[in-house]
């Protein structure tokens, strides 16, 4: 397995994690915020800029963290 295949697998895993968080938030009746949409955009940008690993992985990581914050932590405050 070469490095590009590993990168694709990690990207798909990150999207699956965010999708699971998204579905979990929808089932609980929580309304998603534009913050979560921004997180999705950052994850997609990480996949688009996959030629430079440092930028790609960083964007995917930041996007997943923001999605988690937007769907779990921020609604707990309200």
**Which has more pLDDT, 13 or 72?**
13
For range 8-24, the mean pLDDT:
77
Q: What is the model's pLDDT at position 24?
A: 66
Q: What is the model's pLDDT at position 48?
A: 85
Give 4-10 contacts, CB < 8 A, sequence gap 24+. 7/50, 7/53, 7/56, 7/57, 10/57, 10/60
pLDDT tier at 36, thresholds 50, 70, 90? confident
What residues have CB less than 8 Å from 47, skipping those under 6 apart?
Answer: 11, 56, 60
**Dist CA 48 CA 72 (whole Å):** 26
pLDDT tier at 32, thresholds 50, 70, 90? low
Q: What is the pTM of this model?
A: 0.57
């Amino acid at each position: 397995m070469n490095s590009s295949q590993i990168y694709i697998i990690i990207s798909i895993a990150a999207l699956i994690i965010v999708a699971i968080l998204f579905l979990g938030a929808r089932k609980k009746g929580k309304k998603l915020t534009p913050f979560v949409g921004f997180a999705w955009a950052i994850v997609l940008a990480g996949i688009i800029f996959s030629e430079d690993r440092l930028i790609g992985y960083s964007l995917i990581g930041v996007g997943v963290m923001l999605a988690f914050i937007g769907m779990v932590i921020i609604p707990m405050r309200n």
